[in-house]
Amino acid sequence: MNKTNRQNKTAGRTDVNDILPEYDFSHARPNKYASRYATGSIVVVLEPDVAAAFPSAGQANEALRALAGIIQKHRPRRIISGRNTREPSR
């Protein structure tokens, strides 16, 4: 009886490295766009209305760099000091 119980417990188990049957990669293809992404680049998905404003990735990057420059120019600068500048909480 113990031998039968042990066999039933291990019959449904799969090894950590085994691919489960519900994951079928037999029709998988390599990503044909992978070479377009440069090493270190970040892919951002734009909403269709935003993407329509930029005919190319270069123009989108140019606009974002200009916006980033404006944001940095108008962002208040932090004062770095040796003391804690926060007011004590009461």
| Domain map (residue ranges) of the chain | 47-78
Would you tell me how many other CB atoms lie within 10 Å of the CB of residue 54? 15
Residues 6+ apart with CB under 8 A from 25: 19
pTM: 0.44
CA distance 6 to 21: 23
Q: Among 4-13, 18-27, 52-61, 71-80, which is the least confidently predicted range?
A: 4-13
pLDDT at 89: 57
pLDDT at 78: 74
